[in-house]
Structure 1
């Protein structure tokens, strides 16, 4: 076997090791929940902007995955650029309304609440500054036009600060390390890569394809591809630091081609210990401070998408609904072509009242009407995740084509 090729059974074994708890890297990510099913569900990549192809020792895909699993970077600081392009239409003021609604449901109502504020990462291009000093001190700053939003984790305290509104959000971190680990935000190359490797199985091709240089560091290029043609995922490319094993850049391109759906990478990085003052925070004079509950963002994360997906086994076996999400959640198929389905208990897109009819008409304008043995419904498409909502309120969603969703609905 060539040194840059992989054995699928070995790769699947390494993925099992990762799922068994060998993943130690990336403790630097701020322990807050970032809303965004696409970002959490998809951990994938291609197009690497590099400045030269360094000469590095040959390494197999299995060895490189081991290197990622054993990576244990505790201290770093740097700048991350993340671009997300799902191909969604411009919704005007709807996005801010949805964000306001999320803040209201979270109970904080503060513009500094991380649960709502970091939803901005789901669209567009953003620049982040990150810093970490072990598992108890991390900082992430979202740089915006003439403003900055920061989340600081320092020991027991988690602070969010929005300079534009001079608002502060404060809560305390969960008591146990396992809960903190689950709360890591999926905005960095490391977290995206770990999510992508969970999908590695017999339906996946994993290879090492050359080298790259990212943020001044020599790196290997790990390429992850679905073997089947039914997925909307084209390819994931990860630039892995040759010395530390830390993923430096993550790019996901769709099977339809074009620009990357997710492209997140360090533009500058240092592994020196950040100054202790980096993680200090004191509410500015006149700032409105909102107190949150202990570990509240984590509870939202664990009671939300994670709670809904527990019990939905990967290889097409229906899982039990956990009582935290839609009724009867189960998974159809396996690997990259798998489709999650559940019943909303409603009647699909609202159309009964005048307001519901207007909203339903708006939603219908964004989707494609389809019909089959299941009846009729609407398919809402992005460049990666597609969803079919039937007129009877059943939902089918996955990184698959419209035809695959209709086929699943007909079979259901």
Structure 2
């Protein structure tokens, strides 16, 4: 179906109105995070649309953004398929040492800690079962081959259970903060859409790109495209349920073309209230239970004394604007990544992953994915963003 008219001007104008629904929609953060030596992730997932486009009433991009912002679905259950392809190299035996979440988690590194477990969504294809019944009851299950990981929020309790290891994580929802029950990694189309909408400003083209069927529902397609050169983002498409305003599918494609970097979409969804028993959980007999009474606050505090990247992020600042903005911080180490013969086997491995660059900022190494580039300078500074390598070096030169 042909796209509807562009609403770029309307979106930009409404951004100045603090009373508009769009102000509510754009409060969400863009999901860019430097991971390990060369990885950064942003959430997305493929279309999964049925055949045939529904005939729906015309709607402007501004109205559709407001519809997403006002969506208040309290009860639902369904299945979500998430595929992520950042083009990361096969880390082989190093994966357990530097892969996202490998050394994170509560005190003893419980395999049931959601902070560590859900970072698995950063690579590959995964199937999730989700359920919600109001703000105090949610469940997300990550289905694996012969095993299942479940994260359950039921009132004051947050439970994580890894059936493979028979380990249980337990936290007080109040101790985890207002949003402590939520997964720290995006998992559903709604999570991804909320994060992406932060980028909708005067550097962005926003249109309604026809309609689609997703998981048996009629939906509008919101198309978000950067106007700026220098970004690696090609386009973001959000399929929005025509009746409820809930994002049903989120797809992000890189400017370089090819498959989506991340593609997440419902394959089945129901808005009926899930059975109360869905959120019941009792630790199985013999399971190892890890108590984390202070929730995410304690985990964050526990990482800071270690210094390095986590400590440096406290002083992070943003260079530039819109889609070409770059996050920078000083690790405090005074040096870059181990390199060459001085770094031993690890140094040689890292050299094979990155490209040596130089400029007014000095010298450093750029590590690239299909979406995010990260520059680590020889004096320990980090620059990262969804920008090209050349744009990253220019940002580092300007920030010097």
Return the TM-score normalized by structure 1.
Answer: 0.84
Mean alpha-carbon deviation: is it higher for 240-249 or for 187-196?
187-196
Residue by residue over 1:32-78, the C-alpha shift from the partner in whole angstroms, topping out at 9 and shown as x without a partner, is xx996589974667756332111000000000011001100000000
- 1:395 counterpart = 2:375: no
Q: 1:182 to 1:131 in 2, by over 3 A?
A: closer
Q: Does 1:195 align with 2:195?
A: yes
The answer on 1:297 being equivalent to 2:296 is yes
Report the equivalent of 1:255: 255
Q: CA RMSD in A?
A: 3.2
Closer, same or farther: CA 24–402 of 1 in aligned 2, 3 Å:
closer
Look up the match of 2:62.
62
Is 2:349 the partner of 1:362? yes
Distance 2:270 2:301 in 1: 32
Q: CA deviation at 1:199?
A: 0.7
Residues matched between the structures, number: 384
CA distance in 2, matches of 1:291, 1:282: 14
Distance 1:252 1:184, change over 3 A: same
Q: How far off its partner does 1:4 sit?
A: 3.3
CA 1:393/1:384 → structure 2, altered by over 3 Å: closer, same or farther? same
Which position in structure 1 is the counterpart of 2:335?
Answer: 347
- Separation in 2, partners of 1:260, 1:343: 32
SS at 1:106 equivalent: coil
Matched, 1:330 2:320: no
Contact 1:149–1:160 (CA<8 Å) still a contact in 2?
yes
Name whichever of 283-292 and 245-254 sits farther off: 283-292
Quote the residue 1:171 is aligned against.
171
Q: For residues 387-406 of structure 1, what are the alpha-carbon distances to aligned partners after superposition, in whole Å with 9 as ceiling and x for unaligned?
A: 11111212111100001111
Quickly say closer, same or farther: Cα 1:56–1:205, change in 2 above 3 A.
Answer: same
Tell me if the contact between 2:323 and 2:386 (Cα under 8 Å) persists in the aligned partners: yes
| Deviation of the 1:100 alpha carbon | 9.6
Q: Secondary structure of the equivalent of 2:396?
A: helix
With over 3 angstroms needed to count, the CA separation of the structure-2 counterparts of 1:361 and 1:353, relative to structure 1, is closer
Query: What residue number does 1:269 align with?
Result: 269
**Contact map agreement 1:173 1:180 (CA 8 A) in 2:** yes
Shift of 1:106: 3.0
Change in 2 beyond 3 A, CA 1:46/1:102 = closer
Cα distance in structure 2, aligned partners of 1:181 and 1:66: 26
For residues 35 and 117 of structure 1, the distance between their equivalents in structure 2, rounded to whole angstroms, comes to 18
Q: In the alignment, is the contact (CA less than 8 A) between 1:5 and 1:206 conserved in 2?
A: yes
Cα deviation, 1:8-49, whole Å, max 9, x if unaligned, reads 353563596568546899xxxxxxxx9965899746677563
1:382 deviation in Å?
0.2
Residue pair 1:19, 1:198 contacting (<8 A) in 2 also: no
Distance in 1 (alpha carbons) for counterparts of 2:236 and 2:32: 22
Alignment-derived partner of residue 234 in structure 1 = 234
Q: CA deviation at 1:144?
A: 0.4
Structure 2, unmatched stretches of 5+, are 305-309
Q: Distance in 1 between matches of 2:182 and 2:137?
A: 16
Q: Which moved more, 1:180-189 or 1:244-253?
A: 180-189
